[in-house]
């Protein structure tokens, strides 16, 4: 995205069952194309990014630490008045798709979604939010993020104009942070499985990438390769290489089109609209929807509807008044000229195959397999309850990095169960738990190695002893899979979303009262675990864990 410088599942099902939902023909995927489900006509996006006062996933250049950690955003689909105000203008642009970057799953979206459906407008929704998404610098895929992502799915799945979800946006954007892509691909895998487990209609899960020359081919191949259950259903490309009156070749559109001509899933521009020349003439529209590109690309999404400080807006908003600018008029004129021709699903036979996985090296750090383990709230809660040494409630998150560095330095086995290294594919069974659970696990490993001596559970007041619970029933089975060293492979899948934590916008996982649905099948005795963090592990800890595991992370 362009910045200034660049409840439980059951409760959710009950809520949406009682909501009157406007029905439109769902969009389905076959091979590398989108189709209307009923009549089989190929679907091309004529899209607009639609979210005010939003600056990306918390990792954009120029953002301060406080901005990166903030989860403040305005849900555009919960703003009914704004939605009704803007739909007539979206229709003037012949919009059939909007992209929204962060939704509040606890809010009601029915009025806006129904109005969009009546206007023939579909929605592609990002699953994260500014403070609850996979961070490129400290990547993690944990039970809190899983709760956030699946809660968004719950809130949107029953609208037939929900076209799909993005599991990440520009997370890896340079060779030195490509290991973060493993965590995003794990999120794709688990979100797809959740949609299937919940018996929702098939809704695609994809990824939106930036246009970085050093990694763009490896990025596209990595997310498309391997098991279909773990790979993306569609690929969004944020591309700003056509500026002013450029051309098909000068912009590099010709090369990008050739690169994706053999891609096995739909590709589209998840953002476009370079503003180096103003007002923007949008001459790329003719190319994007023309004969050279439509065999490969499924249209695109213009960045963006609202005029803000980054100067990409199509309209200015003042209260209830919408004022289209010249960019809006130019885009409307260009879109009015195009009528992309496609194929009918009945006559289309997909022939493209999944890509080969990229090899690791100087420009790519994430191994293809295995991916990080699936977040499992039950496992983390079961583990925590059996510990005899845990983190004190008064311990500050600011101290976690130093504490991880201290305890993990006491021996190679102490932190093996919480290791997460995408460059070698080595993951501890508890690497997807929240940081409080992980730190407690490490404290307890040291405590047990010291024969449970009281002095071994001190850490200058950061740790305290508690009475451990005995694991029985489902907990016993889960912990047996993880193994005594925490390095086993847990094959049991999560039983719920833990949406209680996501409801409040937190990704504290089991530490924020999220155990209601998630723990229902794990047996009695699973309690809430204190958590003071939002799922983004301290960088110093990530380095320590990589070193303890004998594998150096790429840190530049």
Helix ranges, 260-350 (H)? 284-288, 326-336
What is the Cα–Cα distance from 179 to 424, expressed in whole angstroms? 10
Beta-bridged to residue 427, according to DSSP, are: 420
Report CA-CA distances (Å) from 268 to 222, 236, 276, 486.
17, 5, 22, 41
Q: What residues contact residue 93 under an 8 Å CB cut-off, 6+ apart?
A: 46, 48, 314, 328, 331, 332, 335
**Residue 197's Cα: distance from chain center in Å?**
19
Give the whole-angstrom CA distance, residue 222 versus residue 201: 26
Handedness of CA 143, 129, 226, 31 (dihedral sign): positive
CA distance 181 to 467: 39
Q: How many angstroms separate the CA atoms of 476 and 485, rounded?
A: 15
Contact 445, 156 (CB under 8 A): no
Grouping H, G, I as helix, E, B as strand and the rest as coil, residue 444 is helix
Phi, psi at 297, each rounded to 5°: -100, 145
Cα angle 509, 512, 516 (rounded to 5 degrees) comes to: 80
Strand, coil or helix: 188: helix
Determine the length of the chain: 556
Map tokens 């009695």 to a residue.
524
Residues belonging to the active site = 170, 271
């Amino acid at each position: 995205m362009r910045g200034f410088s660049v409840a439980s599942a059951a409760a959710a099902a009950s809520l949406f069952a009682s909501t009157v939902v406007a029905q439109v023909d769902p969009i389905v995927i076959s091979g590398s194309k989108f189709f209307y489900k009923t009549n089989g006509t190929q679907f091309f996006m004529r899209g607009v990014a639609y979210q005010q006062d939003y600056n990306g996933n918390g990792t954009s250049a120029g953002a301060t630490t406080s901005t990166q950690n903030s989860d403040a955003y305005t849900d555009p689909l919960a703003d009914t008045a704004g939605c009704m105000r803007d739909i007539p203008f979206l229709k003037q642009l012949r919009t059939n798709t909007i992209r929204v970057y962060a939704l509040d799953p606890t809010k009601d979206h029915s009025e806006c979604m129904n109005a969009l459906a009546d206007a023939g407008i579909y929605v592609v929704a990002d699953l994260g939010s500014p403070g609850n998404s996979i961070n490129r610098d400290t990547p993690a895929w944990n039970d809190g993020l899983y709760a956030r992502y699946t809660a968004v799915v719950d809130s949107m799945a029953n609208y037939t104009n929900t076209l799909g979800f993005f599991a990440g946006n520009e997370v890896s954007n340079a060779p030195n942070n490509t290991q973060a892509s493993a965590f995003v691909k794990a999120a794709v895998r688990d979100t797809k499985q959740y949609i299937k487990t919940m018996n929702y209609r098939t809704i695609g899960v994809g990824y939106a990438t930036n246009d970085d020359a050093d990694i763009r081919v490896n990025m596209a191949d990595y997310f498309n390769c391997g098991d279909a259950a773990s790979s993306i259903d569609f690929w969004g490309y944020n591309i700003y290489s056509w500026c002013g009156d450029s051309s098909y070749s000068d912009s590099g559109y010709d090369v990008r089109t050739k690169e994706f001509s053999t891609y096995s899933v739909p590709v589209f521009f998840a953002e476009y609209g370079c503003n180096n020349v103003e007002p923007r003439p949008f001459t790329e529209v003719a190319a994007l929807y023309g004969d050279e590109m439509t065999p490969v690309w499924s249209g695109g999404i213009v960045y963006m509807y609202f005029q803000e400080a980054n100067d990409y807006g199509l309209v200015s908003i003042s209260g209830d008044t919408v004022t289209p600018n010249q960019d809006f008029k130019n885009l409307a004129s260009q879109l009015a000229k195009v009528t992309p021709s496609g194929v009918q699903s009945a006559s289309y036979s997909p022939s493209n195959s999944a890509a080969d996985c990229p090899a690791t090296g100087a420009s790519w750090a994430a191994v293809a397999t295995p991916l990080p383990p699936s977040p499992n709230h039950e496992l983390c809660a079961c583990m925590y309850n059996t510990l005899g040494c845990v983190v004190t409630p008064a311990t500050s998150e600011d101290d976690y990095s130093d504490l991880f560095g201290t305890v993990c330095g006491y021996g190679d086995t102490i932190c093996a169960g919480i290791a997460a290294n995408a460059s070698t594919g080595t993951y501890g069974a508890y690497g997807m738990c929240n940081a409080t659970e992980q730190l407690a696990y490490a404290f307890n490993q040291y405590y047990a190695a010291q024969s449970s001596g009281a002095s071994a559970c001190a850490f200058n007041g950061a740790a305290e002893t508690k009475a451990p619970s005995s694991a029985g029933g489902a907990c016993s089975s889960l912990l047996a899979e993880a193994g005594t060293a925490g390095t086993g492979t847990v094959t049991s899948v999560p039983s719920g979303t833990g949406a209680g934590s996501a409801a409040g916008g937190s990704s504290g996982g089991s530490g924020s009262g999220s155990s209601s649905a998630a723990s229902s099948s794990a047996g009695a005795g699973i309690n809430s675990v204190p958590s003071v963090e939002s799922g983004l592990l301290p960088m110093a800890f990530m380095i320590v864990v990589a070193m303890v595991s004998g594998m150096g992370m790429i840190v530049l």
